[in-house]
Amino acid sequence: MKELKKVQTVASYTFQEVLKSKVLYNIMFLGLGLLIVTYVAQQFTYGAPSRIALDFGVGALSLSSVGIAIFMGVGLLSKEIENRTVYMIVSRPVKRSSFVLGRILGLNLILVLNILILSLLTLTVYFLTGGAVQPLIFWTILFIVIEASMVLLVVSLLSLLTSATLSVILSLVIFFAGHAIKEAQMTTFTQNRPVLEWILDFYHVALPAFGKINTRDLLLYNQTVDGQFLMSALGYSFTYSAFLVALILIIFEKKNLD
């Protein structure tokens, strides 16, 4: 119970620290940009202004949250070690695991805040332009939160193993590859080459397959999604996130904080 309180304390001060580092201004700026772009795009579109609002909104949500996850996440743990701020925390009666969980939770709260603000803007424009309520909108927003959180875990893990620059590059590669892998598996080029197919299958299992939790295209093309797909996506993302968290905790526990 005490350790949970410490996780909460670290998370709360991480949230405050990131918030005061003007990331909120960037979110506001992005929100304003999103409104302008949506308005301009609608002027060139005939018949489906609400679809445009949704398309731009969901795109901005995803990109900004993944951007925050990668560029803020890369220093979440590694910068703490580099700047020796971690010494101030782990020299107190705080387990290393509580520190790591608190930091991750704190930045996740920032991601949620970012997605919440941009979602509100997007939905306001969407409903004002005549969009109808669809449950898939809310599922898509939830999956964007989960996706950003998984990217944050990936970049945090990489930052403990390699340099900051390489962590950012690798995270971007993993993010884009994680979306493209499903399509790549379905091409005849892959299907005609068993070795390549095996490599892609292995990648699909070992590295995060973001395509499995992507409902954005389904939402934009007004398709329906069954409950089994949603449950399987949720199950996959939670299992994979738990695996990443466990890896981060083991590495950080063993790491010499030099």
- Footprint (CB under 8 A) of other proteins, residues 52-81: none
Q: Counting runs of H as helices and runs of E as strands, what totals does the chain give?
A: 12, 0
Tokens representing 83? 């700047």
Give min distance, CB of 184 to other proteins, in A: 36
CA–chain centroid gap for 32, Å, is 21
CB of 84 to other proteins, least distance (A): 5
Task: Give residues with Cβ within 8 angstroms of 88, minimum separation 6.
Answer: none
Residue 257 near other proteins by CB under 8 A: yes
Residue pair 15/110 in contact by the 8 Å Cβ criterion: yes
Q: Contact between 224 and other proteins (CB under 8 A)?
A: no
Q: Does 6 bind other proteins (CB under 8 A)?
A: yes
Residue whose CB is less far from other proteins, 95 or 204: 95
Residue 222 binds to other proteins (criterion: CB under 8 A)? no
9 belongs to the binding site for other proteins (CB under 8 A): yes
Regarding 88 and contact with other proteins (CB under 8 A), the answer is yes
CA atoms of 65 and 155, how far apart (whole Å): 13
Q: Among 45, 84, 239, 250, which residue sits at the site for other proteins (rule: CB under 8 A)?
A: 84
Distances (CA, A) of 93 to 8, 58, 82: 14, 42, 21
- CA pair distance 63, 71, nearest whole angstrom: 12
Contacts with other proteins, 13-52, as mask; x by CB under 8 A: x--xx--xx-------------------------------
Q: Give, to the nearest 10 degrees, the angle between helix 227-254 and helix 96-128.
A: 150
Judged by CB under 8 A, does residue 91 bind other proteins?
yes
Residues that bind other proteins (CB under 8 A): 2, 6, 9-10, 13, 16-17, 20-21, 83-95, 256-258
